[in-house]
Amino acid sequence: MAFPTPHDLTNGSGATPVPAELAELLRAQLAAVADEVEAEVRRQVPEYAQPPDGPYGRNLRDGVVQALTLFVDHIADPRDDGEAIAATYYALGRGVAQEGRSLDVLQCALRVGGMHAWRCMGRTAETLGLDSTVVAALGELAFQTVHEVAEAAAAGFAEGQLRSSDELERRRRRLLDLLLGEGPVVPEAVQKLAHSARWTVPRQVAVVALAAAPDRREENRPLASAGALVDMESRPPRMLVPDPDGSGRWAGRSFALALRGRPAAIGPTVPLTEAAQSLRWAARALGLMGRGVLPRQDVVRCADHLSTLLLHADEPLLGRLRTSALTPLDAVSAGQRPRLAETLLAWLLSGSNVPDVAARLHIHPQTVRYRLRQLEKLFGDALHDPDTRLELILALRAESMHNRQD
């Protein structure tokens, strides 16, 4: 791993060399200067005023000593690239990113510490009566040192952010797999993994099943709602949305726009431990959208189509119900069957009210009565049996959906 290496300002063209023996004198004062610098950083940077064992305080002393050591080492041997100390600051910056803290605080501490360290060194230079050109060279070297450690910290922070983002994504994927898996969901396991994934555990969730896109370009990826867990690699792609009903996430067309035109089905809102059920219903609704049973465009809410989803929960059984309940219609011609089926369903749904059936189907009441006489001959007294009527409604609904698909 490469770290930023110092530019040899003391040996540059026209630069004034700093006496190497000065290094040992300054090294002897290093602990005392470190005490002053540490105290100044704690005084001026609020985050470092916290207890020494906190996230900021525990690395402060070591960081100060390392930076001062690098400065002195540059005086002792201008050829020393300070890679070991740069590696320390690289790791420090990476740790800041992985803990979710801001690099600005660390950079501020470096500026404050560097300025105070230089003031301490300036007092030493004045006591020793060093030539002004040597003092200027020392100042240039001091700010070079601050620049080097700041660069190393920034590079580490950048890598830490990348790794942290990747690791966070992996943890959230594991959390989603846990919530949507086949096995029982253990709340304690969810809490533990959610904490490591920086995800606030909600009371309720809904799972969205998304239509697969022809390619996986980033611009086709949905814009996830805040706090959503997304897996675009699964089939179908899925998104778990926390507390969907209390946030207005489904309001208007904003959610459809966030999906970038990708058709989707929103599962019912359920307790977190039942998220897998929401996914099953959403996936089933998405399949029915693809077949034309449910609208193909935009977003379908399972909550608005519960009867259709229930009707298609066991399609082989639904097929047997259609065959059994509608057997009398097999006696009529292929042209008559859809008209009689449509009339019978409207009659059952309207409470046997002929005028309502006529208005619903846009036909004359006399036509309705004629068809009902035909249906009475086919079905007989079964038309007035409550259980049979329920089966007929379900079977006729299924037949109507089947005909629409054709």
Contacts of 4 by beta carbon, 8 Å cutoff, 6+ apart: 86, 148, 151, 152, 155
Chain-centre distance for alpha carbon 366: 61
Check residue 182 and report its DSSP letter: S
- On the CB side of 366, how many CA atoms lie within 13 Å of its CA? 0
Sign of the Cα pseudo-torsion (135, 141, 142, 143, in order) = positive
> Which pLDDT belongs to residue 227?
80
Tens of pLDDT along the chain (406 residues) come to 333 333 343 444 344 467 777 778 778 888 888 888 888 888 888 877 766 666 556 667 777 777 777 777 877 776 666 677 777 778 778 877 777 777 888 788 888 888 888 788 777 777 777 778 877 887 888 778 888 888 888 888 877 766 666 777 888 888 999 999 888 888 888 898 888 788 889 989 999 999 877 655 544 555 556 688 988 888 888 999 988 876 555 555 556 656 767 788 999 999 999 999 999 999 999 999 988 888 877 788 898 888 888 888 888 888 888 888 889 998 989 889 999 999 999 998 888 889 998 999 899 999 999 999 999 999 998 888 888 898 898 888 888 877 766 5
Asked if 134 contacts 125 with a C-beta cutoff of 8 angstroms, the reply is yes
Q: What whole-number distance in Å separates Cα of residue 279 and Cα of residue 297?
A: 19
How buried is 341 (Cβ within 10 angstroms: 0-12 exposed, 13-18 middle, 19+ buried)? buried
The per-residue pLDDT for 228 is 85
Nearby residues of 7 by Cβ (< 8 Å), 6 or more positions away: 144
The predicted structure's pLDDT at residue 364: 93
Q: Going by DSSP bridges, is the β-strand pair 264-266/204-210 parallel, antiparallel, or unpaired? A: antiparallel
Among 87, 93, 43, smallest CA distance to 69 is for: 87
Over the Cα atoms of the chain, what is R_g?
37
The closest alpha carbon to 176, from 132, 128, 242, 118, belongs to 242
Distances (CA, A) of 190 to 88, 194, 209, 300, 379: 35, 6, 22, 29, 56
